[in-house]
Amino acid sequence: MELPKLNFQETFDFKFKKDKDKFFIYDLVRKTYLLLTPEEWVRQHWIHYYLTIKSYSVSALITEKKIVLNGLTKRVDLLVTEKTQPKILVECKAPQIKLTEKTFEQTARYNSIIGAKEIILTNGLQHIHAFFENGEYQFYRPD
């Protein structure tokens, strides 16, 4: 399987397996193999980033958290917590998905339910970072 090189300085040690003609990647948070989709490839990079580079514990990361937005059940891709409080909401798109104002607004709507101080919208190649302050999002480039 040909996986795109994503825009991370680090390289991570992923575990893969193949069953019939499908590929799976090991999720350190859920402790199971998941179907390797383009979006999952991006999410697993962020999980490894927070665990290995930022030294968060597995218990601080929540994946596929269900929320209800306008009566519809949605799932957030990755939520980073600190002392059980939402800190960073990471919304992952497949690398070929263009990040637009519309995809950012979707992430902001999810965050209106979650209440994280920071959101990251990413397709693995491009990462958009924003803090929520004084009722609006302030975009920034991380160090």
Q: 126 falls in which pLDDT band (50, 70, 90)? A: very high
For the stretch 68-92, what's the b/e string if a residue is b when 16 or more beta carbons lie within 10 angstroms of its beta carbon? Answer: eeeeeeeebbbbbbeeeebebbbbb
pLDDT tier at 2 (50, 70, 90 boundaries)? confident
- Its pTM stands at 0.95
Q: Tokens standing for 24?
A: 């799976």
Q: Which architecture, in CATH terms, is 16-140?
A: Alpha-Beta Complex (3.90)
Output the pLDDT for position 142.
85
Q: Average pLDDT, stretch 67-84?
A: 95
E strand map for 10-112: 16-19, 22-27, 32-35, 61-69, 72-82, 85-92
Averaged over 38-53, what is the pLDDT? 98
Classified as helix, coil or strand, 70 is: coil
What's the alpha-carbon Rg for the chain, to the nearest Å?
15
Tens digit of each residue's pLDDT (9 = 90 or more) over 9-33: 999 999 999 999 999 999 999 999 9
